[in-house]
């Protein structure tokens, strides 16, 4: 199962959005975005919200719903956000 930071990176890349753009929109240092996307640092709930809402202009649920559907299909269990925020 993909981690939230991996899904966020994939989402950004598929739409041709730069890390710099996301960082500027979300009010986060571009270096921090890079570190988050590679899993070098943990994604905080606040950063997650700002990146989703301000950086991408989407609700955070799209990243949780994707994993939720896959998890229910394969494991028949409800995923917890703690499992995805490494």
**Tokens in use for 31?**
């270096």
Report d(CA 40, CA 35) in Å as an integer. Answer: 5
Torsion angle of C-alpha atoms 68, 73, 77, 82, degrees rounded to 10? -30
Tens digits of residue pLDDT in 17-72: 999 999 999 999 999 999 999 999 999 999 999 999 999 999 999 888 755 555 44
Domains of the chain: 4-77 (1.10.260.40)
Report d(CA 39, CA 69) in Å as an integer. Answer: 23
Tens digits of residue pLDDT in 11-30: 999 999 999 999 999 999 99
The radius of gyration computed from the CA coordinates of the chain, to the nearest angstrom, equals 13
Q: Is the pTM of this model over 0.75?
A: no
């Amino acid at each position: 199962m993909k981690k939230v930071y991996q899904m966020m990176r994939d989402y950004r890349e598929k739409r041709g959005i730069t890390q710099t753009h996301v960082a500027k929109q979300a009010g986060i240092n571009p270096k921090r975005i890079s570190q988050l996307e590679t899993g070098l640092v943990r994604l905080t709930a606040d950063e997650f919200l700002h990146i989703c809402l301000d950086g991408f202009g989407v609700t955070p649920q799209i990243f949780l719903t994707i994993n939720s559907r896959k998890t229910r299909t394969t494991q028949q269990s409800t995923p917890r956000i703690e499992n995805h925020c490494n």
